[in-house]
């Protein structure tokens, strides 16, 4: 006999399980001061919090509800699509990213049809439909190198990443938000100043 309480909770419990899986999606950078890798849930929470800080500091006329939704939902497709490392040397990984994430978004929509705002947030972020999505998108690109910088460059040295690789990978993406671009230029200047310590060996300049 079906438990009526379980039936009522099925959708909610399924979403709980989605958040558990999200916590297990590892990214390719170490948690600052630790040896373990950062996970998607940690990244998304930091993205939301830092976005809030910048919007308050800069007195930006943005809707915080949209910002939080974009920040919390932007990487949920990785539950099914996996994380795509920005500096992965395999071109096939990058070539398949868009299709993998499109299929993942469709699966999320099918699994959680009762949660339309989630799917709207995912699509809005992907298509950069407003200033809120652009700020979150640009900040999402700045968070990893900033965290690695604050960790003394550990992940860069482990992965053989150079300053030039970082600057090239971020330039166009960060440019969608002038506010975030301003901060990125300041962070990049710090990285350039401390290049030898962060990347090891001779200067990459």
Q: Is 182 inside a domain boundary?
A: yes
- What is the chain's length? 205
156 Cβ contact list (under 8 Å, min separation 6): 148, 162, 166, 198, 199
Question: Does a structural domain hold residue 10?
Answer: no
**Would 1 be classed as within a structural domain?**
no
> Residue-wise pLDDT tens for the chain (205 aa)?
567 777 779 999 999 999 999 999 999 999 999 999 999 999 999 999 999 999 999 999 999 999 999 999 999 999 999 888 777 777 887 788 889 999 999 999 999 999 999 999 999 999 999 999 999 999 999 999 999 999 999 999 999 999 999 999 999 999 999 999 999 999 999 999 999 999 986 544 3
For 130, the domain range is 15-199
CATH of the domain at 64: 1.10.3210.10
Residue 76, in any domain of the structure: yes
Neighbour tally for 10: CB within 10 Å: 11
Residue 186 lies in a domain: yes
Specify if 3 maps to a domain: no
Residue 5 lies in a domain: no
Quick check: is 9 in a domain? Answer: no
- Name the domain count of the chain: 1
How far is it, in rounded angstroms, from Cα 113 to Cα 135?
A: 27
């Amino acid at each position: 006999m079906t438990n009526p309480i379980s039936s009522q909770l099925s959708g909610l419990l399924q979403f709980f399980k989605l958040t558990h899986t999200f916590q297990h999606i590892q990214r390719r950078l170490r948690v600052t001061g630790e040896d373990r890798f950062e996970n998607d849930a940690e990244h998304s929470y930091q993205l939301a919090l830092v976005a809030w800080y910048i919007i308050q500091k800069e007195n930006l006329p943005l809707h915080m509800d949209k910002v939080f939704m974009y920040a919390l939902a932007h990487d949920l497709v990785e539950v099914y699509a996996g994380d795509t490392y920005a500096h992965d040397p395999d071109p096939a990984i990058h070539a398949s990213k868009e299709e993998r994430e499109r299929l993942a978004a469709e699966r999320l929509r099918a699994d959680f049809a009762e949660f339309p705002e989630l799917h709207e947030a995912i699509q809005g972020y992907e298509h950069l439909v407003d200033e809120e999505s652009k700020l979150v998108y640009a900040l999402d690109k700045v968070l990893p190198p900033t965290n690695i910088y604050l960790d003394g460059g550990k992940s860069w040295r482990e992965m053989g990443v150079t300053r030039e690789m970082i600057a090239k990978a971020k330039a166009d993406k960060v440019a969608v938000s002038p506010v975030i671009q301003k901060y990125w230029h300041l962070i990049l200047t710090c990285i350039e100043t401390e290049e030898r310590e962060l990347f090891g060996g001779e200067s990459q300049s």
